Structure 1
């Protein structure tokens, strides 16, 4: 049994990770400040004797005795990270420094949940880990994009300078139960609008693409990376290489919900990437991982979750 720290553990991904780690027989210390995490995501774990919750902001130092760290703390949707962009950058940068410092002191392994947003609006498609990215340092998304890029830099510098055992994953669009219905992400937006019979908001002409990974696949990839061979640091893309336009996603959601919603087109937000698709050859080779849940199957489970939530 390991004692494992999960920062951002009450969030969408963090709560599913806590489920996984507990199911594998570990003790979990879940840390969250509830900026975007929710108590309802971890309510079912509160009576588990191997689960402990601590309300804490990782921009401040944390002192704990643990065997591994998964660093997931950071608002991940544009609505939330642009609300307080300075704090978003602090969470990525100061949070990384504090968690890396803890890992250095304890001489333990630490995983960073990075993002496909480090690639920016890519000039290379699809995106392999070797692509350096095309990111605006002054745009409204930079607080998240550049914060995560700086966090990756810190992870590799701590690895080289202090010998910290690191794992870095780049997460592509992930969806599933426990998404916040008001987080502004495309899957939750489309499903909630369709279930309510509201117009579905399409930004731009709807031709921009995303690749959608179901949450269970994401967590399996994350767990596999943490337990991968010694010396393998990543970064490694974790995502579903299936690529869909926003129009295709909207049409599929309308069909699956039986909604009468119509599509409403709005201007494309500043610096919004036009393409996003992972190359996952490295994940297949090093982790033996690839996604198993297709978009239709994943949407069925996600729609069921949101239907119950709205009802």
Structure 2
């Protein structure tokens, strides 16, 4: 169980020691949608660890579709007074009627096979589910909503910039299956702006780069996730392209830290890029780093049609994080160190 993995707990404690600004969470109630996902579960683990070690006395309301899955994931604190799991699909509404201080919208399909197999729920979770959460937050007078958006809202780099700043708009062909994810994330951001204007709801948008970490789900089909699985198994890393694509990445613990930081320091209505300061690399460079850690090699293989349908067509998607750094936050975990820690912790879970 990951919540009993000492290296994972040490990683959480390390960020807790570096970021001391916990007073805004004291005695607060925090709703986390997408509770068993990579970022959502990290946030919940962290908050409950802080309850224990920093006496925060915060309450976590975890939203998810599968109680059995959640109970297995959060067994360490299922019976704790500070933790409540609420089962249900946010597209159908929020099965809860309790005042909350903060709402974290981390529920979304986030990998290629999910985009191609479940394109409807990919869109509806980012739009209808987000609308339901925003409506809940407004009715229950939440202090702030954090919407986890994506680097993919920028579309394709038109070759006129090295890194995406928050005001950049690239090309995106909306009349494709693959467009469902970035277009619905764009609409989710627009809903945040609408609720801010019409309901006075405080919303902050975080545009995350490609994330990885020890809470990675076994079903995740992103290229990075597949590289990690192969690396843990000491198998050759399969690259399904030439690997020249350039992307920004972020360690999941850094992403969770960014969410908690934005709860206090983000400016309402603003969108912020979030990426690792030391995590820009090519897809091939990423594969080679994992292969080096695993003692294996990189091999090339074309994807099948269904898998390829879910892949991003972006060839350069690097994020400029200066705007968020100016608030005082910097995700500076070294890429190779983060990959090595991820592989060790995931290997211990298997």
Pairwise CA distance, 1:40: 4.3
Alignment match, 1:153: 190
Pairwise CA distance, 1:240: 1.6
Runs (5+) with no aligned partner, structure 1 = none
The answer on 1:253 being equivalent to 2:313 is no
Runs (5+) with no aligned partner, structure 2 = 1-26
Cα gap change, 1:293 to 1:39, in 2 (>3 Å): farther
Instruction: Pick one of 188, 195, 207 that aligns with 1:170.
Output: 207
Pairwise CA distance, 1:294: 0.5
Alignment match, 1:187: 224
Preserved contact between residue 10 and residue 39 of structure 1 (Cα < 8 Å): no
Alignment match, 1:117: 152
The answer on 1:296 being equivalent to 2:328 is no
Q: TM-score, normalised by structure 2?
A: 0.82
Preserved contact between residue 246 and residue 317 of structure 2 (Cα < 8 Å): yes
Cα gap change, 1:167 to 1:180, in 2 (>3 Å): same
Number of residue pairs aligned between Structure 1 and Structure 2: 306
SS of the residue corresponding to residue 9 of structure 1 reads: coil
Aligned equivalents of 1:212 and 1:222: distance in 2? 16
Preserved contact between residue 203 and residue 269 of structure 1 (Cα < 8 Å): no
Bigger proportion of residues as helix: 2
Pairwise CA distance, 1:213: 1.0
Aligned equivalents of 1:178 and 1:43: distance in 2? 15
- 1:281-308 per-residue CA deviation (whole Å, 9 max, x = no partner) reads 110112x111121101101111102322
Pairwise CA distance, 1:39: 5.0
Aligned equivalents of 1:99 and 1:181: distance in 2? 27
Alignment match, 1:233: 269
Alignment match, 1:93: 127
Pairwise CA distance, 1:272: 2.2
- 1:17-46 per-residue CA deviation (whole Å, 9 max, x = no partner) reads 1122331521000001149x7654423331
SS of the residue corresponding to residue 187 of structure 2 reads: helix
SS of the residue corresponding to residue 279 of structure 1 reads: coil
Aligned equivalents of 2:32 and 2:85: distance in 1? 10
Aligned equivalents of 1:38 and 1:12: distance in 2? 13
Preserved contact between residue 146 and residue 263 of structure 2 (Cα < 8 Å): yes
Aligned equivalents of 1:40 and 1:213: distance in 2? 26
Task: Between 39-48 and 156-165, report the one with greater CA deviation.
Answer: 39-48
The answer on 1:84 being equivalent to 2:118 is yes
Aligned equivalents of 1:244 and 1:262: distance in 2? 16
Question: 1:32-71 residue pairs with structure 2 within 5 A?
Answer: 32-34=64-66, 39-62=71-94, 63-65=96-98, 66-71=100-105
Alignment match, 2:317: 276
Pairwise CA distance, 1:134: 2.0
Cα gap change, 1:38 to 1:139, in 2 (>3 Å): farther
Aligned equivalents of 1:265 and 1:95: distance in 2? 37
Q: TM-score, normalised by structure 1?
A: 0.92
Preserved contact between residue 93 and residue 151 of structure 1 (Cα < 8 Å): yes
Aligned equivalents of 1:196 and 1:213: distance in 2? 23
